[in-house]
Each structure stands twice: as C-alpha cells, then as structure tokens.
C-alpha cells in the first residue's frame, strides 16, 4: 500500500507508540497528589517542554487540547470573550479565505452569536494571502480585530507570509492567530520569531497520536476558558490525556531536517514525472513557496471523486482535499478562493508525503494514475 495522505493523518511513529505504551503502565490522574498522580504529571510536564521546544515557546505558553480543531476554537472564542469587557474589545474577525473549516466555521459561529463582524481576506491565484487586501480591511474600521491566517495551507501546501501578516495586524492593534497544524513538522515554526498571539498545532500531522494538540499563546494574550476547571492552569478543563500527550511529545522530538528533505525530494520527483506523463496537468500553487511534502494537482477530465476511489482500489491512498471535507461533493473552497474554474477544481487531487514515504510510493502513485488515465481514454474512444 502506498500511503500518500500524510496531510490528513501521518501514521504514528514507533517512538510515539513506545512512549504511549510505557506511560500506559503508569495509570493515574495528572491532577492527583499521590505518587502515581505525580508520575503522570511529570509526563505531561515533560511533553509540554517538548512541544515548547518544537515551536520555540515557553512551556507555560502551551495548553494541551484534543487537537487542532479545539485549539483553534479555544483561541477564537477565548480571545473574543476575554476582550468583551476590556477597553479594546474584539469587534472584527478577519479570516483568510483558505483557512481550515475549524477556523472558518468557528469564526462564522462567533459572528452569528455575538455580533462580531466577520470578513474574509482574499488570496491570490497562487493561494497566497493578499497583504494589500488585509491592510485595507484593517484600515476600514477603528474597532479592534483578530486576524487568522494559517502558516501553510493543508490542501495546496502554499506557505503564507506570516511575518507580514503579524506585522500588519499588530500595527493596527489587532491580535493574530496562526494555525500551524499543517506546517508544524514540515517547516520550522518559531513562535517568538513569528510574533503571533496564538498558534495551534496537532500531533497526528507528524506522527503523533490522533486526539491530541496544543494551543500556544502569549502570556498577555486575551483569553477566557470556555469551560471552567482547574486543569491546564485553568485554561482548558478536563482530565489531561496523559497517554496521548506522551506520544505527542515523543513525536515532536523525532522531527528532523532529514524528514523534510526526503519528502521534498519525493514530491518534486512525483511532480516532474507526472508532468512528463500528463503534460496537461495543473499543479496548484506551484509558483508560490510550498510545503515540500504536498502536491495538489488536477488532470483535466479526471474527476477527483473517481480518481480517489480508483487509486484506493489500486492500493494508493490519496485525497481530494481536507479529510474533514472528503464527504462533500462540491469543489474545495481553497481552490475556489484561488479562482480556479469549477470544472478544473472538481479534478483537484492531493498527495502528501511523510516520515515513512519511499521511492516506491512515488512509483505506485504514478503507475496507478497512468492506468486510470488509460482506462478513461479507452472508454471515451469506445
């Protein structure tokens, strides 16, 4: 089987599995004061240091969550609620048009329930957030805003100019949320250097377990917990997932530059060979900086829904966009935001490489696509 859907979930690393099995023998609640509880707390504290080291943050800035979706929701709701009674309440949410649904849908819900105005920041045809449009949106009102722009897009891999985004946001007294779920583990993420107020990551995107993530936020960033409780220093209630957190930390420590170099080499070889076999292929965002592991492409006349099923039957795992949206029939909102024609967007396929990807995976995908194209041409000719 050729697994080329690491952007949806990267298979769990051996180191993470071993860490989780070892911690599973401890038992205990990290909030308990007896020796077993203290052992569980030590695991959580160690993992917090590991995640902080991964993104160059302080350990006390890391809040463990159930994943990236919850982390994004906590940042958005927490910021808006905390600032409501302050001298600078958040009255606007400026969200890029290519954000993950966990940001887009949460922002829409906040707007519906609170009266906060929500506006989308457009992107260029290459899938890069339009800095000029962001500046214009920031200048349109004096009310404080929260800007949400992801570090790299989960569907196209296009890397966003986060430094420019944060600089523009802070110059306008706005807060900034950076969803680094897809980027973390595939490119360097430096919380201090980025300067964002909130940053989110998720374990299962780079070989950790599903159901574990983190919200990283500055100590002075406005934040109100959404559920009262004592865990995570009162910032996120609920018993910590000690086993998952241990796997999260272990996976973070496994990340190396070699992983990124290998996936970039495989992705480049895949695209070069694909173009030689299918000269009419369109690779979305290829003119922009991209994550080295991601290729989002379309072969005109080959519907994505058909291709994903056919590839699956040929033991090649790929996708037609975000995993959370795979049940939808309409084309990707990311490609629509990039002004891709609907007919071409309906052919959009994504392959994404990861820590255990090999040359054989590239060959399997290319051969499977060639066989599929051949069958389609034969049917059209019949």
Looking at residue 303, which CATH number applies to its domain?
3.90.1150.10
Mean pLDDT of the chain: 95
Residue 28, sorted as left (phi over 0), alpha (psi -120 to 50) or beta, turns out to be left
- Whether 347 is catalytic: no
Three-state secondary-structure class, residue 127: coil
Q: What's the pLDDT at 382?
A: 65
Residues 358, 301 share a domain: yes
Count how many domains the chain has. Answer: 2
Residues 269, 218 share a domain: no
pLDDT in tens, 198-253: 999 999 999 999 999 999 999 999 999 998 899 999 999 999 999 999 999 999 99
pLDDT in tens, 103-126: 999 999 999 999 999 999 999 999
Residues 269, 189 share a domain: no
Residues 106, 209 share a domain: yes
How many CA within 13 A on the CB side of residue 210? 6
**What's phi and psi for 242, nearest 5 deg?**
-60, -45
Residues 282, 213 share a domain: no
Residues 245, 331 share a domain: no
Distances (CA, A) of 181 to 70, 153, 216, 289, 330: 12, 9, 12, 17, 24
pTM to 2 decimal places:
0.95
Residue 165 structural domain = 14-254
Spot the catalytic one: 184, 254, 324, 347.
324
At which of 226, 254, 282 does a domain end? 254
Q: What's the pLDDT at 377?
A: 78
Q: What's the pLDDT at 374?
A: 85
At which of 204, 239, 254 does a domain end? 254
Q: What CATH number has the domain bearing residue 114?
A: 3.40.640.10
CA distance 48 to 26: 18
Residues 273, 247 share a domain: no
Residues 56, 144 share a domain: yes
CA distance 373 to 350: 16
DSSP alpha helix (H) spans, the chain: 14-24, 35-55, 68-83, 101-114, 131-139, 162-171, 191-194, 242-254, 257-277, 304-313, 333-337, 342-345, 359-381
CA distance 198 to 74: 10
Res 365 pLDDT > 70: yes
CA distance 48 to 14: 20
């Amino acid at each position: 089987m050729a697994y080329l859907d690491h952007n949806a979930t990267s298979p769990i690393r051996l180191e993470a599995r071993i860490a989780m099995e070892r911690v599973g023998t401890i038992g205990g609640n990290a909030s308990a004061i007896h020796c077993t509880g203290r052992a569980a707390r030590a695991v959580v504290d160690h993992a917090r240091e590991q995640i902080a080291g991964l993104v160059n943050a302080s350990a006390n800035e890391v809040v463990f969550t159930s994943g990236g979706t919850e982390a994004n929701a906590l940042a958005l709701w927490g910021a808006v609620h905390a600032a409501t009674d302050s001298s600078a309440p958040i009255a606007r949410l400026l969200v890029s048009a290519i954000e993950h649904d966990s940001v887009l849908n949460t922002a829409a819900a906040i707007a519906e329930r609170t009266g906060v105005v929500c506006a989308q920041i457009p992107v260029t045809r290459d899938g890069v957030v339009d800095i000029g449009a962001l500046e214009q949106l920031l200048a349109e009102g004096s009310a404080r805003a929260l800007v949400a722009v992801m570090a790299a897009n989960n569907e196209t891999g296009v890397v966003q100019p986060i430094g420019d985004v944060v600089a523009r946001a802070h110059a306008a007294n706005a807060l900034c949320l950076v969803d680094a779920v897809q980027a973390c583990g595939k490119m360097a993420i430096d919380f201090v250097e980025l300067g964002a107020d909130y940053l989110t990551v998720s374990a299962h995107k780079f070989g950790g377990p599903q159901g574990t993530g983190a919200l990283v936020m500055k100590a002075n960033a406005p934040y109100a917990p959404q559920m009262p409780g004592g865990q995570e220093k009162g910032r996120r209630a609920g018993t910590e997932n000690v086993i998952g957190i241990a796997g999260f930390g272990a996976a973070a420590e496994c990340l190396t530059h070699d992983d990124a170099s290998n996936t970039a080499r495989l992705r480049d070889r895949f695209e070069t060979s694909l173009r030689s076999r299918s000269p009419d292929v369109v690779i979305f965002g290829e003119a922009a900086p991209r994550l080295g592991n991601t290729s989002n492409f379309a072969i005109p006349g080959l519907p994505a829904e058909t291709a994903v099923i056919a590839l699956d039957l040929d033991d090649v795992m790929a996708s037609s966009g975000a995993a959370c949206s795979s049940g939808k029939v309409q084309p990707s909102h990311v490609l629509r935001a990039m002004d891709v024609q609907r007919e071409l967007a309906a052919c959009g396929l994504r392959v994404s490489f990861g820590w255990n990807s090999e040359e054989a995976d590239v060959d399997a995908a290319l051969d499977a696509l060639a066989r599929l194209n051949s069958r389609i041409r034969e049917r059209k000719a019949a």
